[in-house]
Structure 1
């Protein structure tokens, strides 16, 4: 009798785990899951480009200062064009 209860509980546990994994796979592969994945990737790309532009503007300012090309108008024009 104990063997039957043991194997029944093992079977139920495996069944629950299988149902959860299938549900997760359906949620990931469905339209909502795809939408979340694309949204996350787009947000990451946007954050990366913002950080890249900021670093590029900072480095350009450093180079302009080092070369003696640093004027207020030039830096302001560079920063505004980098944001576009």
Structure 2
């Protein structure tokens, strides 16, 4: 008699456990649940992408600072006259159009890319 009661109870418990497991899986596969899971994963991916972009930006700033130090680009020139004439116009010290230091070529074009603009 105890044997039958034990197996009956074990079977009933297994049935309840299996039913709950199946019901949870069915609820997880409803369209609303799938949409919520997809939205959660999209938000998580967005946060990861934002963190990655911030890491890349910080690395860029650090590398630009290293390159600026190595090339001496952090210090502004003391006197604009120390620059060659073609560079003076690039920093805004000459008000006129750029000066052509090379004579025009044989076909009349000066090959100055800024001339047409």
1:19 matched residue in structure 2: 19
Corresponding pairs, count: 70
The question of 1:32 aligning with 2:32 is answered yes
| Unaligned runs of at least 5 residues, structure 2 | 75-117
- Indicate the residue corresponding to 2:43 in structure 1: 43
Deviations 1:11-54 (A, max 9, x none): 11111111111111101111122022101210111111110111
Q: Per chain length, whose mean CA-contact separation is higher, i.e. which structure has more relative contact order (CA < 8 Å, sep 6+)? A: 1
Counterpart of 1:8 in structure 2 is 8
Where structure 1 has 5 or more consecutive residues not aligned to the other structure, the ranges are: 71-84
**Structure-2-length-normalised TM-score:** 0.55
| Structure 1: distance between partners of 2:23 and 2:33 | 12
Mapping for residues 50-61 of structure 1, pairs under 5 Å: 50-61=50-61
Q: Distance in 2 between matches of 1:16 and 1:36?
A: 27
Structure with max Cα Rg: 2
Return the alpha-carbon distance in structure 1 between the equivalents of residues 58 and 21 of structure 2. 47
RMSD: 1.4
TM, length-normalised to structure 1 = 0.75
